[in-house]
Amino acid sequence: MTPTETEPRHWPTAEHEELFATIASLRTPEEARRFLRDLCTRSELDAMAHRWQVARLLDEGLPYLEVAKRAHASTTTVTRVAQWLRDGEGGYALALRRRRRRRSRG
C-alpha cells in the first residue's frame, strides 16, 4: 500500500478549502455557471442540480413520496438529502434561507 492509502482521509483538505474559497470569490451566477461548467462534467452538474431540486421541494414541506415523484428521484436520494438538511453542516439550510429571502424581495 502507498502512504496515501493507509492515511485517514481528512475533511476538508487544503485542496477543498482552496476550492471553496475560489467558489466564494465568484461574484455572479454567470461567473459560477462558467466556473462550474469548466470544473464539472455535465453528469456531475446534473446530479448537484437534482439534489438541489430535492432540497427545495423538501423545504416547501412536501412529503418524501411527493418530492420523489416531482423530482423524479429515488426515495433513497430524497432521504439522503433530508438527512443532510437535518444533520449536515448547515449549507443547505443557509442557501435555502437566502433563496427565500431573495424571493420575498423579488
pLDDT (tens digit per residue) in 32-51? 999 999 999 999 999 999 99
* DSSP code, position 88: S
pLDDT at residue 74 greater than cutoff 60: yes
Q: How far apart are CA 5 and CA 46, in angstroms?
A: 30
Cα angle 98, 21, 19 (rounded to 5 degrees) comes to 110
* pTM summary value: 0.84
DSSP conformational letter for 36: H
Given pLDDT bands bounded at 50, 70 and 90, which one contains residue 1?
very low
Q: To the nearest whole number, what is the mean pLDDT of the chain?
A: 92
Show the domains of the chain with their CATH numbers. 11-40 (no CATH), 41-106 (1.10.1270.10)
